[in-house]
């Protein structure tokens, strides 16, 4: 899921100063799990705006903010309230915010959150970064643990000299990714994989903006994997 944090509220209110009426859009997926775009968060935002003497013309928590098509259909139902608002505040991730930009090309749209990373929720509203979407996954070689994300240097060939009693040079609070990889591969009897020199990463797979990924691309992938079999 996509991890979001609330922007500093007083700074956000300052950004919104020039507008008088707002429509609020949340998201029932990631932003709800993060507590940044659920109904409660939207209500709180509405209160804060009202306290500044602003009006809130309406609000919605769409099913999936980054699903532009579906969100467009959901927003249609609230057309009047949306038309009445000077600006839209989107309380999801940056992708959801840009859905609204796409659906409402003539209206001001502002994000209420900062989008941090792709993470796993390990306990209630505690998130761990596990994948940085590098486009060229190597965890088949690294015991299923991602060094690109979990090692601050993104090392592909073993620990740096900075690892200290199994912890990372950068912070005593995180375990060295390469010590974790080593321990796991040792347990699985797969240490041979750690002996293999991994080549420099192909960062071209990561460089954005990406081309559209279409149904045809997915079908192509299926075909390739069938051919291999």
Partner 1 sequence: MSFKDTLESGKFVVTAEVGPPKGTDISVMKHDMELLKGKLDAVNVTDNQSAVMRICSLAVCKLVLEHGLEPILQMTCRDRNRIALQSDLLGASVLGIRNVLCMTGDHVSAGDHKSARPVYDIESVQLLQVVNALNNGKDMSGNDLKGATSFFQGAVVTPESNPLEPQLMKFEKKVKAGANFFQTQAIYNIDKFKEFMAFARQFPVKVMAGLVVLKSAGMANFLNNFVPGIKVPQDLIDEMKAAGKEKALDTGLNITARHIRQLKDEKICDGVHIMAIGMEDKVPTILERAGLL
Binding site residues, ligand SF4, CB under 6 A: 131-134, 137-139, 146, 148-149, 151-153, 155, 159-160, 162-163, 168-170, 176-178
Query: Measured from the CB of residue 153, what is the shortest distance to ligand SF4 in angstroms?
Result: 4
Name the residue among 182, 154, 155, 178 with its Cα closest to residue 167: 178
Within residues 150-169, the interface with partner 1 by CB under 8 A covers: 152-166, 169
Binding of residue 194 to partner 1 (CB under 8 A): yes
Q: CA–CA separation, 122 vs 1, rounded Å?
A: 11
CA–CA distances in Å: residue 66 to residues 35, 51, 74, 130, 228: 17, 30, 13, 21, 33
Q: Which does 94 bind (CB under 5 to 8 A by kind): partner 1, ligand SF4, none?
A: none
Name the residue among 63, 80, 81 with its Cα closest to residue 72: 63
Binding of residue 207 to partner 1 (CB under 8 A): no
Query: Measured from the CB of residue 209, what is the shortest distance to ligand SF4 in angstroms?
Result: 18
Query: Measured from the CB of residue 143, what is the shortest distance to partner 1 in angstroms?
Result: 12
Phi-psi region of 147 (alpha: psi -120 to 50; beta: other; left: phi over 0): alpha
Q: CA–CA separation, 94 vs 65, rounded Å?
A: 10
Give the one residue of 18, 105, 200, 209 binding partner 1; rule: CB under 8 A.
200
Q: Which does 177 bind (CB under 5 to 8 A by kind): partner 1, ligand SF4, none?
A: ligand SF4
Query: Measured from the CB of residue 163, what is the shortest distance to ligand SF4 in angstroms?
Result: 4
Q: Radius of gyration of the chain from Cα atoms?
A: 22
Query: Measured from the CB of residue 36, what is the shortest distance to partner 1 in angstroms?
Result: 25
Q: Which does 131 bind (CB under 5 to 8 A by kind): partner 1, ligand SF4, none?
A: ligand SF4
Binding of residue 170 to partner 1 (CB under 8 A): yes
Q: Which is nearer to ligand SF4, 101 or 155 (CB)?
A: 155
* Displacement of CA 147 from its chain's centroid (Å): 19
Provide the 10 A C-beta neighbour count for residue 148: 21
CA–CA distances in Å: residue 135 to residues 165, 173, 208, 219: 32, 28, 10, 18
Interface residues toward partner 1, by CB under 8 A: 152-166, 169-171, 178-179, 182, 191, 194-195, 197, 199-201, 203
């Amino acid at each position: 899921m996509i991890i979001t944090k609330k922007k500093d509220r007083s700074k956000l209110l300052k950004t919104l100063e020039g507008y008088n009426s707002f429509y609020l859009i949340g998201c029932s997926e990631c932003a709800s799990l993060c507590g940044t775009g659920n109904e409660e968060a939207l209500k709180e935002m509405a209160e804060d705006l009202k306290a500044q003497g602003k009006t809130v013309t309406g609000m919605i928590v769409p099913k999936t903010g980054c699903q532009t098509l579906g969100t467009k259909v959901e927003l249609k139902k609230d057309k009047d309230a949306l038309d009445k608002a000077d600006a839209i505040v989107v309380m999801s991730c940056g992708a959801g915010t840009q859905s609204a930009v796409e659906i409402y090309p003539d209206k001001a749209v502002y994000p209420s959150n900062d989008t941090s990373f792709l993470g796993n929720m390990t306990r209630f509203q505690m998130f761990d970064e596990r994948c940085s979407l590098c486009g060229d996954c190597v965890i088949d070689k690294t015991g299923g643990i991602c060094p690109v994300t979990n090692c601050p240097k993104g090392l592909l060939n073993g620990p740096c000299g900075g690892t200290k009693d199994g912890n990372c040079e950068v912070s005593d609070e995180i375990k060295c990714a390469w010590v974790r990889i080593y321990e796991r591969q040792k347990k699985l009897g797969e240490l041979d994989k750690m002996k293999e020199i991994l080549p420099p990463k192909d960062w071209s797979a990561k460089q954005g903006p990406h081309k559209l990924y279409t149904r045809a691309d997915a079908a192509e992938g299926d075909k390739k994997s069938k051919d291999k079999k």
